[in-house]
Structure 1
Amino acid sequence: MKKIMVVNGPNLNLLGQKDPTLYGCFTLDDLNQKILDFADKNELEVKLFQSNYEGEIVEELHKARGNFDGIIINPAALTHNSYVLRSAIESIQVPCLEVHISNVHKGDDFRKQDVIGPACVGVITGLGWLGYLLALEYFLKL
């Protein structure tokens, strides 16, 4: 059974409350349930993790080394400036797929810079919660 870690970054605990016109009305619990349902139907083992703290995310990524077949990460605003997170991803030797609920290429110019994506096998952006399931499907078929 493949083991996948799903990491959600800062402020994703506020899904459903934070700008529903951009992020939708679903909560982090709703998203996690969709992920768990997909994993159960497809015989994937999934670990869910969310933190508002960059260092905690780095520590969790370090734990993935040698223990997981893949990582789905939504670094949220850390996407644009966290070279620490990028370095952690490059160091652990576990394939990572970056996922964003909204299209990060729309809106403010600073949101168009992605320092995490180059360390990942791919980036899924703008497809809402479905992006997470597509990422799980990728690891399932890998």
Structure 2
Amino acid sequence: MTERRLLILNGPNLNLLGTRQPEVYGSTTLPEIDKRVEQVAAEVGLKVRAVQSNHEGVLVDAIHEARTDCVGIVINPAAYSHTSVAIADALRSVALPVAEVHLSNIHAREQFRHHSYVSAVAEMVVAGAGPLGYEMAVRYLADRLSQ
């Protein structure tokens, strides 16, 4: 692998950012987040491969593919945080450092959102920082990978 790349993985409904419940998720769109993540990654010497899907299996496949071309994963599993053992198991399987991101503070929302299966796998979790959370996750992984 010549390029050091991060997989930026976004789960269900995040394709609707900017219009979906802006009072919860803000007005920034996913393409705007992706562009900023790419800029931050470039600042720290990394490339990115961004994937968004509303389908659990597609997300699992993207995680598996990351074994061959990525050095870390930033994931916003969205609603799959609270339901997907499959995504958590896939993350464990690839043995890459994982940073979990949530735009909203999941701990200040409905009780069912307080538990994330992905958090048990992630080295770092940021919740409630909005789009800045993605930047924090990229910088964390860059620092982690430089050690």
TM-score normalised per structure 2: 0.93
1:27-75 Cα offsets, whole Å, 9 max, x none, are 1111111111212233211111100000000000000114211000000
Identity across the alignment (%): 38
Aligned mates of 1:42, 1:72 — CA distance in 2:
15
1:59-94 superposed Cα distances (whole Å, 9 cap, x missing partner) = 000001142110000000000010011111111111
Contiguous gaps of at least 5 residues in structure 1: none
Q: Could you tell me whether the CA contact under 8 Å between 1:2 and 1:140 is conserved in 2? A: no
In structure 1, the partner of 2:98 is 96
Equivalent pair of 1:74/1:99 in contact (CA under 8 Å): yes
Q: What is the identity, as a one-letter code, of the residue corresponding to 1:121?
A: E
Name 2:138's counterpart in structure 1. 136
SS in 2 for 1:56: helix
Q: Distance in 2 between matches of 1:111 and 1:75?
A: 12
Query: Where in structure 2 are there 5+ consecutive unaligned residues?
Result: none
Give CA-to-partner distance per residue, 1:94-134, whole Å, 9 cap, x none.
11111001000012110111111001112111100001001
Larger proportion of helix: 2
Q: What RMSD over aligned residues (CA atoms) do the two structures have, in Å? A: 1.0
TM-score by length of 1: 0.96
| 2:24 matched residue in structure 1 | 22
Paired residues for 1:9-48 under 5 Å = 9-48=11-50
Take 1:39 and 1:119, find their aligned partners in 2: how far apart are those partners? Answer: 22
Residue 35 of structure 2 corresponds to residue 50 of structure 1: no
Paired with 1:16 and 1:109, the residues of 2 have a C-alpha distance of 25
Residue in 2 aligned with 1:118? 120
SS class of match (1:105): helix
How many residues were matched structurally? 142
